[in-house]
Structure 1
Amino acid sequence: MARLSRCISRRGATLQFRLEKRLQPSRFMLYATPVAAVILTMIVGAIVFSVLGYDGLGAVREIFLTPLTNPYKWQDLAVKSAPLIIIAVGLAIGYRANVWNIGAEGQYVVGGLAGTGVALATYDMSGPWILPLMILAGILGGMAWIVVPAYLRTRLKVNEILTTLMLTYVSIQLLNYLVAGPWKNPMGMGQLQTKLFTDYQTLPYIIPGTIVQLGTPIAILVALVAWFVMSRSVFGYEVRTVGAAPHAARYGGFVANKTIWAVMLISGGLAGLAGVLEVAGPFGRMVPQFPTNYGFTAIIVAFLGRLHPLGIILSGLVISISFVGGEVAQTTIGLPNAAVGIFQALMLFFILASDIFVRYRVKRVVPQTAESAA
């Protein structure tokens, strides 16, 4: 049970400490540490940027508080958080099964490309069936992009971290080829982009006068459905068992490879769904700037939400605050664009470091002397 021990000599006596794994992690610590990670991120971030010569306190204020206090920024939060929530839910399901999909960015890109392909193929058509067909194509595109890593993991035991990550760069090259070649808009004034999607190929606005589109309620619905499935279904129990106790899962009749295939296809499909909702929503066309690191940022969202679908809704909102606030900070106090990445990296570091205190406790070990042994 002991994982780490350390001896400290003090006044001739030897004090020994060790990290001992908790049999049952504290529920309070489990949900309090994400809050602590955000607070520590704000404190350390303020110190770092102050040392670098920027207004550290101003950076924290603009990044974390301005998006909440400015009502005009709330709609931006809804738009930014939607893809993060969808992708993070898919990643969390995989992580519960001990399947580490790191290349959701590639599946997100291919999902957007698949939706764009349907949009261009139906460009001269009309009808309410076009958008659902685009969404279906995006989901299938994300699934297709993760088939190879899933096959290599289940058949050859190849680490899915490497395969999914490497395919991300392939997807970006595929995007650049299509936008600069077959899909390039001849009327685009030299710009690398596809044709602007029609009304039948774009998401409707759910709140008149705002930029909030159908993608936001879809993200909430995805999280709610995932919560129900993971907590109230046999499949959810199977995923958790395969991830936490593979031998017990095998004894219970669960097939690990089948579960791995299922969670990887779900993860890739949800990333593809986020991609097609983005290209049919805020972008309205495919452009080389489509990869926005949502797939990588969603990893932070998943862990900050404790791999719980409802927690991911809140963590997605927190991370979207940093995105929107970072844009504000660039214009108000001249903070560099990389500042947002630094804050997000700090947040991931602190949430992972806090897991040590959630799952382990420091215990003092009293050395056994010869007299006590006798």
Structure 2
Amino acid sequence: MQFRLEKRPEPSQLMVYATPVAAVVLTMVLGAIIFSLIGYDGVGAVREIFLTPLTNAYKWQDLGVKAAPLIIIGTGLSIAYRANVWNIGAEGQYVVGGLAATWVALSTYSLTGWWILPAMVLAGMAGAAAYAAIPALLRTRLGVNEILTSLMLTYASVQLVYFLIRAPWKDPMGMGFPQTRLFADAARLPTIIPGTIVHLGVPIAIVVALVAWFVMTRSVFGYQMRVVGTAPHAARYGGFSENRTIWLAMLVSGALAGLAGALEVAGPFQRMVPGFPTNYGFTAIIVAFLGRLNPLGVIFAGIVLAITFVGGEVAQTTIGLPNAATGIFQAMVLFFLLAGDLLVRYRLRRVSKAPARGVA
């Protein structure tokens, strides 16, 4: 007796968008059980991670700040994944974007002017796009899988951060700590709500997602991304170049990751430090899929994942949950999401093996 996967009829829109909700609910239930079995307050862990950031008004500002980079990077990845281009190195591109913006901030340290922040943003986007161009070049010229190259380049970017903040960019007044000097006022993002940490990058993230949604649904570029990703043979017949699409997808996703990096280093960090690589790029992969590769869905998915970041920090101080708990809950969300997609689109069918016939 054998089993095989059989494709179901096209699932309804309700099923497609109900799966992410079910994935979050299952994560909460199973997470409570698992952490209870290993000796923690499982119910309390779920409460602190998923509910406290929503019920505590003081934590709402943290949600906005954490969600902004996830939304921006997740939007870029959703565009690339729509085109079937698997950029896994958004974390590295985010880091390079932050480094490029830092270079501008340090180079203009003694200057003032409104143009410094836009220059940092442009440098961050350009630097990250150039970094994303490496996997695109290797894919289109040599046929090298972009999953491996983009992922490996992430670790190179992290080592570059460590080198720069320990040698050429090290703050001479930093008492030996590996970090750059604090940015000048002109190189810092302004807060938009007095008395909070909510900076200008939060509304920028929403605008980026809305613009991306419009472009993906109302432009030839968006149509090209969708067609190449879903029907490559039809795309070639229609005149869309696969290599050109790969380049566009990698450059756009890389540039948006660099935008997030530039806004982060100019906003919450205000200097380059060893802790700048925060795994936003990897978490944004979950955001993109949880948002159904739709920029509007990415906004809500970014908020959900930001809740786990903020709630994880709360749970560490209130019930002593380890830092790794946040990653466990995020991984469970992705697992249940992918499993749900598989069950919605396929079913397991039992196949009886026919007996072999003898040769006369």
Short-chain TM bin: over 0.9
1:217 match: 203
Q: What pairs up with 1:77-116 in 2 under 5 angstroms?
A: 77-116=63-102
State whether structure 2 residue 174 is matched by structure 1 residue 188.
yes
State whether structure 2 residue 131 is matched by structure 1 residue 145.
yes
State whether structure 2 residue 153 is matched by structure 1 residue 167.
yes
Shift of 1:148: 1.1
Q: What pairs up with 1:277-356 in 2 under 5 angstroms?
A: 277-356=263-342
- Distance in 2, Cα, partners of 1:94 & 1:328: 34
SS at match of 1:186: coil
Give the percent of matched residue pairs that are identical in Structure 1 and Structure 2: 73
Shift of 1:91: 0.6
State whether structure 2 residue 113 is matched by structure 1 residue 127.
yes
Name structure 2 gaps, 5 residues minimum: 355-360
Shift of 1:365: 7.6
- Distance in 2, Cα, partners of 1:177 & 1:361: 51
Question: TM-score with structure 2 length normalisation?
Answer: 0.96
Amino acid at match of 1:244: T
SS at match of 1:49: helix
2:18 match: 32
Task: Give CA deviations for 1:249-270 in whole Å, capped at 9, x if unaligned.
Answer: 0001111110110010001000
SS at match of 1:184: coil
- Structure 1 contact 26–358 (Cα < 8 Å) conserved: no
- Structure 1 contact 84–298 (Cα < 8 Å) conserved: yes
Amino acid at match of 2:230: A
SS at match of 2:6: strand
2:27 match: 41
- Distance in 1, Cα, partners of 2:181 & 2:320: 35
Amino acid at match of 2:89: G
- Distance in 2, Cα, partners of 1:364 & 1:156: 42
- Distance in 2, Cα, partners of 1:272 & 1:266: 10
State whether structure 2 residue 29 is matched by structure 1 residue 62.
no
What RMSD over aligned residues (CA atoms) do the two structures have, in Å? 1.5
- Distance in 2, Cα, partners of 1:97 & 1:25: 21
- Structure 1 contact 206–212 (Cα < 8 Å) conserved: yes
Question: How many pairs does the alignment contain?
Answer: 354
SS at match of 2:5: strand
Question: TM-score with structure 1 length normalisation?
Answer: 0.92
Amino acid at match of 1:174: L
Shift of 1:363: 6.1
1:371 match: none
- Distance in 1, Cα, partners of 2:220 & 2:106: 41
- Distance in 2, Cα, partners of 1:242 & 1:328: 43
State whether structure 2 residue 232 is matched by structure 1 residue 246.
yes
Shift of 1:147: 1.2
2:357 match: none
- Distance in 1, Cα, partners of 2:191 & 2:149: 37
- Structure 1 contact 149–160 (Cα < 8 Å) conserved: yes
State whether structure 2 residue 146 is matched by structure 1 residue 155.
no
